[in-house]
Structure 1
């Protein structure tokens, strides 16, 4: 408790304990959002993979899930003992690729903003909120059937992750339901939920809400990176149509 209070009151580097954490189901547009934030000045990691995930945080999340007997396609909430032990300061230095204390002190003085994206954050969030009690969390929501079809399509691409069960889109949809249900189970007050489709459509009201949450200008980067929304099939299986989250967000 004292350590957390010290972090909250740290006058030298308030941004150190306020990273932006992006969560949401795989294939929900989290890579897009991470690139938008990076271009807007919220550093998303000096070493990232093709999905815009910072290698270090991805590795920590992945190993914790493995240690807990899970994985991205069979997610669990790992206990604290399943995670690698790093201080906030060490994670910050690795995230920016800082060697020695000189640049670290400089980055403290100029209050560099930072964050990371990983769909696994949806389940590892309790650990990260203990480490960073003032974090800003963004949950990206995308139509569950579109996510399922995207997982199915990814299965057909060479070099991408392949899981045979996702050749059946209903399996992908059921996984989406697990992720979105978990994301909405948190009572942490500093979580902002936003629909991927609203960003793709450049919905000015939703973009303004996200900008106000982060206190950063995003519109020009969204305008530049957003692609034309896909034409969605309205013929969903009954299981999809009756899903509580689909009714809440996509009852069109």
Structure 2
């Protein structure tokens, strides 16, 4: 299963830009409420670059509807992505957010859910979405869907420090880490990894409990059958044909690349960073 990026033509770039822009229009102005018989969604979130695309492909093959309106590069839901871009900063501290902000966010969220679910085979079909940034708004999402199930993808922070996927950092680093984050992008990536994953785990352990499941990217690639079997059991589908849904998943040689780095980009880890790595099962 390839997770590399294919270059886009200029026409494709324009089409993606126009699609995002169209979501800013209040169309439809009013949407029907979600069918009460619809199951709660499954949400895949992570620090960007942690393998969410691979997990999304697994769920699609297993029969989950993850939207037809997705970004061609990463399978992110475009409507949900639009919502996160607009509201993430203002909802980060939910529920400690003013009522006016929450009301506006709720209106937008219901419209994006409606657009995201277009094309679903049945109101009661299994569904969800993939967007790494969902990790930051778990409290808001759980408030809307109390029975939501969350799959938290995580990857070794030392490999993340070498990742070229710094979109989230470019868009949000200034208010999360301060205006000087760009002076040391690798250290900023590490700090972002620590903040995002710790807050997600701490909330999940207190409020989600059995509706939260963590998957390490390394385990998914090296032990796909065992790892995906656990995911399917978590989602209530233990009889899924595992061989079918894991086809193509393998270690592409990018795991543990920090050990081979000769550039010095992997900064010395503090005791706190080492403790966080160990918390998620990584040896230091």
* TM-score interval, normalised by the smaller of the two chains: 0.7 to 0.9
Q: What does residue 155 of structure 2 align with?
A: 142
Correspondence list, 1:6-25, <5 A: 13-15=37-39, 18-25=40-47
In structure 2, C-alpha distance between the alignment counterparts of 1:86 and 1:200, rounded to whole Å: 36
TM-aligned CA distance change 1:215 to 1:240, over 3 Å? farther
| Pairing partner for 2:276 from 221, 226, 245 | 245
Separation in structure 1 between the aligned mates of residue 131 and residue 104 of structure 2, nearest angstrom: 17
Unpaired segments ≥5 residues, structure 1: 1-6, 69-75, 99-103
The residue correspondences of 1:48-127 to structure 2 (distance < 5 A) are: 48-49=70-71, 50-67=73-90, 76-78=92-94, 79=97, 80-81=102-103, 83-85=105-107, 92-98=113-119, 107-108=122-123, 111-127=124-140
TM-score normalised per structure 2: 0.67
8 A contact 1:21–1:115 mirrored in 2? yes
CA offsets, 1:28-75, max 9 Å, x none?
11122112212221111110112211111111122112445xxxxxxx
Relative to structure 1, is the Cα distance of residues 191 and 22 closer, same or farther in structure 2, using a 3 angstrom cutoff?
Answer: same
1:174 pairs with 2:200: no
Q: Structure 1 residues 231 and 161 mapped into 2: Cα distance closer, same or farther (>3 Å)?
A: closer
RMSD of equivalent CA atoms: 3.0
Count of matched residue positions in the alignment of Structure 1 and Structure 2:
219
**Greater alpha carbon shift after TM alignment, 212-221 vs 138-147:** 212-221
Structure 2 gaps of 5+ residues are: 1-33, 171-180, 261-265
Distance change in 2, residues 1:215/1:171 (3 Å): same
Spell out, residue by residue over 1:199-251, the C-alpha distance to the aligned partner (whole angstroms, 9 max, x if none): 11134332221110113434432232445242513375431675222123111
| Residues 198, 206 of structure 1: 8 Å contact kept | yes
Q: Distance in 2 between matches of 1:240 and 1:221?
A: 39
- For 1:3, the equivalent position in structure 2 comes to none
